Chains A and B, each alone.
Chain A
């Protein structure tokens, strides 16, 4: 069950990144015909980020303790000490940024350049930070894997 929850967390995270990129690209060339789609993408990105943090937060609170012990006894304690500690907090900032995205896309993106620029920055940061979170997750998994290999 724990592994399924963890895979769901990674999957919704990847979908969030893809949706943030979609928002960025669509906003880059926004027209009257596509503005509704940009707004829909922004809302979907926020929804996916909330799903990601709810699923990941549940796993972190109820299942991560065992993995943490294995990581700290293994050859890569930095996977917890730096990557997990940083990830669990940067995700909170990313949640707020993603929640702000649909608010930013509600502006007139076609006629107001500053609003379009804001959406580009917010969606671009969402995508980049999301990629960073996926990378950190991979390092944490590797830390647990190496810890288990040493324990054998």
Chain B
């Protein structure tokens, strides 16, 4: 049974932030390795970085909204104490992905 004392929005948007960090970090590598993806991102908004920014924000907002409606509006079933770990770990891993990619492989 979920005895969470946090708001549903906190759990939903916390999970959504983790998803947005990681998807956005993976997109860094994908667009740098695939000219097709890079050109497509440039074509969408005239600049690949702006498209990347819009993508990241939209993932956060859409996933967060969808998750906040789950469990009858209670948000996802995740233990309160695990949310800090999830947000922190996903942020650190996401930051390391472009740093390692541009530092070692590009």
Contact = CB atoms under 8 A, between A and B. Distances in A.
Contacts of A89: 24-25, 28, 52, 98
A146 interface: no
Interface string B92-106: 001100110011001
Contacts, number: 109
Given A97-B17, A125-B91, A57 B49 contact: yes
Interface stretch (A16-24, A66-74, A113-121, A137-145): A113-121
A85 B106 contact: yes
A53 B83 contact: no
Interface in A77-101: 81-82, 85-86, 88-90, 92-93, 95-97, 99-100
A149 interface: no
B101 to A, nearest CB: 8
- Interface residue tally of chain B, by bracket? 35 or more
B81 A96 contact: no
Contacts of A100: 13-14, 17, 60, 87
A13 B103 CA distance: 24
- Interface residue tally of chain A, by bracket? 20 to 34
Interface in B1-45: 5-7, 9-10, 13-14, 17, 20-21, 24-25, 28
Interface of A: 53, 57, 60-61, 81-82, 85-86, 88-90, 92-93, 95-97, 99-100, 103-104, 106-108, 111-112, 114-115, 117-118, 121-122, 125, 129
> Top 5 A-B pairs ranked by shortest CB distance?
A114-B80, A112-B5, A85-B102, A89-B98, A118-B84
Interface of B: 5-7, 9-10, 13-14, 17, 20-21, 24-25, 28, 47, 49-50, 52-53, 56-57, 60, 80-81, 83-84, 87-88, 91, 94-95, 98-99, 102-103, 106
